[in-house]
Structure 1
């Protein structure tokens, strides 16, 4: 939750409520909080609309935090990944005693520790607010004012808020959010939320209607698990041009835009920029999990979003997770940690999965270590080439729990004699 606990722990009385019928009136009400130097919580909700509740927190008219809407954790992860790429991210289970760092106070702690700058924290708060303001405006416009936004003002005592909180001026953000919405609308995207995830609907037709390079880029990029906003951060661009580039394929029915679930809770742990471990809590380990708590599984992929998906799956299964995002540093880290199985993404900068797999097989310590190549290009040529460089198996993206766990059961069985099985697709 991106707001100070000193604020969120208070449950102030509702001062007044009203219904805003237009987007302009809504923006005016938000700006009025700034002009009136409001200190408190402004709750916004749309009647009969799932996941359409937001809260903006003010301190003397400036924004100090925000919560709510769809994908609050995914939104947080995007901003953290974009503004603080130096921080490896790991998932904390509910039983874990590690501090949860996807909230305001944990981020402030990292600022005090020197892991995050105050400017980075302000950028994260601003990014969250901008996405929320855009979503509020879009949702209100989509409803065509059939169901207005209900506002609840909850004043909070000034002395209950720490004086050193990050504060953001709301007026410029409102103007920027309105401009972003107008540009999104003028591009013909009004009915599409940037929280939707593109997914290939007809791969064969897409291959036929595009060049090999375009098809390869699309199948590598789009896996149905990443939203337009997620992909924009990954590609270091604005969601608008990305959405515009995909619309011709969406209109032809080759690519669909679907709703996806939010991420589980995250934590941030200061460590090296290339590795992070996902250690399960020993208190809640089931018999199945206890068999694998000493087993390390590596995942080599430059994508932080794919890494978080894999980490969640392995964490829940009780494996220790080694994430390597820089393929150049893969071999030294593999030699240091000696994983029992290696998942390897095929498409990466500088060195691809084939090259890394061949390098791994030249090291005697990994002669019998299962190496599973992951890719969106699930073709016979890729499979043959992967087998030539010594891959043990082939896993098609998108990553999901069922496929990953089936692979682990096949290549990391309890009986060592079964480890001789090779080249069988899970």
Structure 2
């Protein structure tokens, strides 16, 4: 698949108002994932240096954030858009502004599209549409057509400058320091040596020098042509985001007495919400069942008879209100605790939820302590010694 064909896939997803993930892969197994919502690209992941890219954009757009205080917990490192989860959490906790959020998304998608354009010019790519991932994201002002136009312009300028074979993911390093000393001043050499050390990619240097990656690369061309500087491949940065691995043995869940172990159900069209809630529930010694299809919710619940139900408020086809009302009409669920999940803070929603028979109301994002507090309250069970916390950003 060449670039023109690839662009047609992007445009097709937009025209069809696609919701889901567009997966692109090269023969070496490198993946690029583009997440669509109502036909618009709202996020992108993958490529060679996802952590380096995330940290670089944090330093550029959100310099006030102390990256070392951000922790990525177990239930989030399993998803490939962990970077978006962190960004969204910073926004919801009001640590970054809407403008910063928009700029971060725009930069990220733009960089990945550029890398993909370059890869399409030299390698075979395959493309797959995956609708299993329904991505609920904050909408931004940049449209997919604008993303594509900016990528085409950037790639045209890069190619016209004779840089088609040079990837911004490469890192420059001084190959012949003695020759460099002969050609430049001592002060220039000191600064040059500090930056051109094989530790920073061309993308990284563009941010550090507050210049475009095209300008930075062009400024190094003379030294590259003279054999003073060479470009090398470097690995992704080890994440300064702390991945806290809990020493849990999930096999013990299979050995639990199934009859006496509470079963918690979640009805939510978001796979992510179900996954996070599942990790919290299972790690606290209980069983879990997630349901994304609202049409299958009632028969599935009747079959499994859960002890407690978490129910999303806003879903396609059937709302949380409607499902809650249906459940209360069934004698087997007349007294089952039902907790409404929503991103809304509205007092009216809380009141209406109680009218339809809900026992409680929990706002997103999902937090371990908040979930378990509700579970303990309604099921009157003891807290286990081991649990997994949610994605946390410390003040």
Determine if the TM-score, normalized by the shorter chain, exceeds 0.5. yes
Cα 1:167–1:56 shift into 2, 3 Å: farther
Structure 1 residues 194-205: aligned runs within 5 Å: 194-205=168-179
Structure 1 residues 361-376: aligned runs within 5 Å: none
Structure 1 residues 4-403: aligned runs within 5 Å: 20=1, 22-47=2-27, 49-51=28-30, 53-90=31-68, 103-143=83-123, 147=124, 149-156=125-132, 160-162=134-136, 164=138, 166=140, 168-267=142-241
List per-residue Cα deviations over 1:273-307 (Å, max 9, x = no partner): xxxxx9x98999xxxxxxxxxxxxxxxxxxxxxxx
CA contact under 8 A between 1:63 and 1:167: conserved in structure 2?
no
CA contact under 8 A between 1:74 and 1:262: conserved in structure 2?
yes
Count of residues in Structure 1 that have an aligned counterpart in Structure 2:
244
* Aligned counterparts of 1:219 and 1:194: Cα–Cα separation in 2: 19
Cα 1:281–1:134 shift into 2, 3 Å: closer
CA contact under 8 A between 1:59 and 1:167: conserved in structure 2?
no
CA shift for structure 1 position 153: 0.8
Name the SS for the 1:220 alignment partner.
Answer: helix
* Aligned counterparts of 1:216 and 1:246: Cα–Cα separation in 2: 16
* Aligned counterparts of 1:61 and 1:29: Cα–Cα separation in 2: 12
CA shift for structure 1 position 202: 1.0
Name the SS for the 2:41 alignment partner.
Answer: strand
Q: Runs ≥4 in structure 1, deviation > 3 angstroms?
A: 91-94, 96-102, 160-168, 280-284
CA shift for structure 1 position 33: 1.0
Name the SS for the 2:51 alignment partner.
Answer: helix
Cα 1:127–1:283 shift into 2, 3 Å: closer
CA contact under 8 A between 1:62 and 1:167: conserved in structure 2?
no
Structure showing greater Rg: 2
CA contact under 8 A between 1:57 and 1:65: conserved in structure 2?
yes
Q: Flag structure 1 segments of 5+ consecutive residues without an equivalent.
A: 1-19, 268-277, 285-426
Cα 1:50–1:225 shift into 2, 3 Å: farther
Name the SS for the 1:85 alignment partner.
Answer: coil
* Aligned counterparts of 1:204 and 1:37: Cα–Cα separation in 2: 58
CA contact under 8 A between 1:92 and 1:98: conserved in structure 2?
no
CA shift for structure 1 position 63: 1.2
Structure 1 residues 406-421: aligned runs within 5 Å: none
Cα 1:262–1:163 shift into 2, 3 Å: closer
* Aligned counterparts of 1:135 and 1:128: Cα–Cα separation in 2: 11
CA contact under 8 A between 2:42 and 2:137: conserved in structure 1?
no
CA shift for structure 1 position 255: 0.6
* Aligned counterparts of 1:133 and 1:164: Cα–Cα separation in 2: 20
